[in-house]
Structures are given as C-alpha cells and as structure tokens.
Chains A and B, each alone.
Chain A
Amino acid sequence: MSKQKTEQNDDKAVKSRRAFLKGAGVASVAAAISVVATDEAEAKSEETQKTSGYRETDHVKAYYEAAKF
C-alpha cells in the first residue's frame, strides 16, 4: 500500500473514531467537566517548574492536596 493511501485510511479511521466518540455522549457533557481540566492545568504549570528528570503525575498530587489527604 502506498504511503498516501495509508494516510487516507488513517484519516478515515480518525474521522470514524471522532464520530463514534461524539455519538457515544462524550461531547455532551463537555462544558460541565471542562472545569476539572482547568483546575488541573493550573496545578500542572505550577508543578512543571519544580519537576526535572522524572515527570510526576501532577494531578494526583494536586488532587490529594485539594482533598487535604
């Protein structure tokens, strides 16, 4: 199969996957839970400055801190 053809097929798969995900209701609640993502992003940029070498799972840390665990 030529490279171009493979790319076309990939593109088709991406589109079907996108359509499937939206149809499955993943998009329906976007607005509400995007709030969670915003919080994470804030925690992340703060954490990023401290991290070197090993990447930490910053959100886990942020959530534990938020939960005062």
Chain B
Amino acid sequence: MTDIQSLREKIKSNDAGDATGVAEEDLLRANFYGLLTSALLAPPSAEILEIFKGLDGDESPLGMAMSSLGELARTTKPEDIEDEFTRLFYGHGAGGELHPYASFYLTGFIYDKPLAQLREELRGLGLSRSGVTSEPEDHIAFLMNVMHELIVGVQGAAMSLNAQNTFFDKHIAPWAPKFFEDLEMAENAEFFRPVGTIGRVLMEIEHEAFTIAA
C-alpha cells in the first residue's frame, strides 16, 4: 500500500460520515485546528494529554514542534501543566501573563468592538457558544474551533475555501500570529511553548495556502 493510500484509509476510518467530500489536506488542517482548540481551551484533561503523548513529527518546523509537544507531554507532570496553564491564562487575581482574546489584541480591552463584530458574523454562520464556558467567542480556542467547523462542517455543512479565507483574514490573521508568538516567548511557557510554535507556523501555512488558492 502506498503512503497516500494508507493515509486515505486512515482518514476514512476517522471519518464519522459527515466529513465526506472534504479533501484529505483539509482534514489534516482541521486536525491541527482541533489540536490547538484542545490545548488552549482549558488545562488539557488526562484524555487529551494521552493523545499528546503520542505526537511525533518529521524535520519540518511543524513536525519538530509536534515532536517537542509529544516529548513534553510524556515527561511533564499533569499538575505542572495545569499550573502553567493557570499562570499563562488565568493568573491569580490580576489575570494571567497572556490574554488570548482578539478584542484584547486589537484594542487593548476585552469585550470590545471586535467581539461584537465577531458575534454578529457567527450568528450569520449559525454558530454559537455551547454555554458550558464563560469565555467569550473571541478566545483563541473558540476561533480555532470555528476554523475546524468551517473546514469539516457541522451536519455536513462545510464552508468553501473562500468563506474560510474570509473568516480567517477578518478574525484570526490580524492578531492570532502575534498571540502565538507571545505564547512561544512567554516567561511561564514550557509545555505550551511548542503549542505556540504549532499555532504560529500553522497561521503562516494557512495564509500562504489561502493565497495560492485565491
């Protein structure tokens, strides 16, 4: 079996039936968005850490960051990862080291105009918060999840590459690369440093790939 065939089989077996018709390279992109969502939404659960432990990659910048994340997941204590997440994003009273919100990056304030604009757009797309968390929609993990949704679709409604590009340019490109860079450089980041790298590199790849397709 060729590599491509085995890759196809793999994707097929992971397909719950509603991603039919999504090209394999797009499913792979969606996986990266899923990975970033699961890493940044909340302190990763034991289940998610188990998945991270299996990560490995090639010599590409993305592959090396994946290897690094896998290695850290295997060697870092879960409670240390949770502490690090708290120091990075929650803090103690005064907030964490980083503020992973579009509004904060674009205006210096959370819950500002960019959030309102995003909410309006999400209404148009038929996407809303699940209500399980109090984080606003412009949280980085929520936006990564939206990209995942736009690629694979909920109930089979994947959006065109053009629509993905529009959303990306408007709500992610203006600030997410800077956020991921900040995460890579954050004083408190150890386990989350390769997550920052994966995010930064994915943003670069996505920008380039949208340009090719346009």
Closest residue of chain A to B25 (Cβ to Cβ) is A21
* Docked CA distance A3–B214 (Å): 17
Sorting the interface of chain B by its residue count into under 10, 10 to 19, 20 to 34 or 35 or more gives 35 or more
Binding site for B on A (CB under 8 A): 13-14, 16-18, 20-22, 24-42, 44-45, 48, 51, 54-61, 63-69
Chain A: minimal CB distance from B138 (Å): 13
> Do A64 and B25 touch (CB < 8 A)?
no
Given A17-B209, A44-B154, are A33 and B32 also a contact pair (CB < 8 Å)? Answer: yes
**18 further A-B pairs in the complex, CB-CB below 8 A; given A25-B60, A63-B38:** A20-B212, A26-B28, A27-B25, A29-B56, A32-B56, A32-B66, A34-B11, A34-B31, A36-B38, A37-B34, A41-B19, A54-B126, A55-B126, A56-B130, A61-B130, A63-B141, A64-B132, A67-B48
Partner of A25, one of B51, B63, B212: B63
Which B residues are in CB contact (< 8 Å) with A20? 205, 208-209, 212
> A25–B57 contact, CB under 8 A?
yes
| Contact A60 B128, beta carbon cutoff 8 Å | no
CA A14 – CA B18 in complex, angstroms? 22
Chain A residues positioned under 8 Å from B30 (CB to CB)? 37
